[in-house]
Amino acid sequence: MKFLNQHPIKKSDLGFHGNLFGGKLLAWIDAAAAGYAMEYAHNRRMVTVKIDECIFKKPAKEGSLLKIYGSITKVGNTSITLYIEARSFNVYTHEEDIVLSTHITFVRIDEDGSPIPISDKVRNGFHYEVAAKDK
């Protein structure tokens, strides 16, 4: 998986129970995944269309780093789907615990917001990568 981003968890990021607020985490994940989708598609007009089920597996605490990793799992005609993991990173021990994992789908759009095809070069490149991994 590719490292996408990291955020130090501060007091202002915490919810009522002293853990990283879920809404803040989802915003960070969406932004990191959007950047990766844009980079991969060679196009800035990528919008979030779907975030799959999000199960918060472990809490993230103040003073930890929240690291976000991702990989492309599917390239469709107009969309790109990514698998995303958010991990709490302990700066002292370098241990990482998965806080949340999900799939996020982005769609390429035109100026009017209508879906348009992902380029053949991007789609063919993805299929080449998958075939190379299968060998």
Nearest CA-CA partner of 58 in 95, 113, 104, 31: 95
- H helix intervals, the chain: 22-41, 120-134
Residue numbers of the domain that contains 8: 2-134
**pLDDT tens by residue, 5-63:** 999 999 999 999 999 999 999 999 999 999 999 999 999 999 999 999 999 999 999 99
| Total domains present in the chain | 1
Q: Against a cut of 0.75, is the pTM above it?
A: yes
Q: Which residue type sits at 8?
A: P
54-70 per-position pLDDT tens digit: 999 999 999 999 999 99
Q: Are 99 and 58 in contact (CB under 8 A)?
A: yes
Distance of CA 38 to the CA centre of its chain: 12
Cα–Cα distance, 110 to 30 (Å, whole number): 20
What confidence tens digit (pLDDT) does each residue in 120-133 have? 888 887 765 655 66
CATH number where 114 lies: 3.10.129.10
